């Protein structure tokens, strides 16, 4: 079964300091089963890379290499969720609307959500959609 992975997981696939056993397990699973992310994910990913570059934790050539490498992933980007649903999930689970986009996608697709974010993980567990 495919899964939804948030940025905290996918960044770990490319930035060793952000990797752990969990991110590696999700990557192996996603390679076999497929991966979904909301349309906002590429912007989040690019923002994290640029932040690491600005803080001199990644060299520009590494950012460019990672950006090229991420294109090889077959991430199914999903259309934006309805605004009302994002707001409702954000309120119900006390997460940001950005995080609610990942949760909404997992719930709508009926697949688990992989995240390292503690608040989003709590929300996904509560909704019965956490990838463990």
Q: Where are the domains of the chain?
A: 3-127
pLDDT at 121: 97
Position 113 scores a pLDDT of 98
Q: Which CATH class is domain 3-127?
A: alpha beta
pLDDT of res. 65: 95
Question: Which tokens hold the place of 30?
Answer: 């996603």
Which stretches of the chain score pLDDT less than 50?
A: none
**Cβ 8 vs Cβ 46: under 8 Å:** no
pLDDT of residue 79: 87
What is the per-residue pLDDT for 71? 86
Which token pair is 26? Answer: 């999700």
The Cβ-side half-sphere exposure at 66, using a 13 Å CA radius, reads 22
pLDDT of residue 124: 97
Is residue 27 within 8 A of residue 33, CB to CB? The reply is no
How many whole angstroms separate alpha carbon 78 and alpha carbon 25?
A: 23
pLDDT for 14-45, tens place per residue? 999 999 999 999 999 999 999 999 999 999 99
């Amino acid at each position: 079964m495919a899964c939804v992975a948030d940025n905290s997981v996918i960044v770990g696939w490319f930035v060793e300091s952000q990797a752990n056993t969990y991110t590696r397990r999700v990557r192996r699973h996603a390679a076999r089963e497929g991966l979904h992310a909301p349309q906002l994910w590429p912007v989040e990913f690019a923002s994290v890379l640029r932040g690491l570059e600005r803080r001199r934790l990644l060299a520009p050539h590494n950012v460019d290499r990672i950006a090229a490498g991420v294109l090889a992933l077959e991430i199914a980007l999903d259309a934006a969720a309805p605004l009302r649903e994002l707001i409702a999930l954000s309120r119900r689970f006390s997460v940001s609307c950005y995080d609610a986009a990942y949760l909404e996608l997992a719930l709508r697709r009926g697949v688990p959500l992989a995240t390292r974010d503690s608040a989003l993980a709590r929300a996904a567990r509560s909704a019965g959609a956490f990838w463990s």
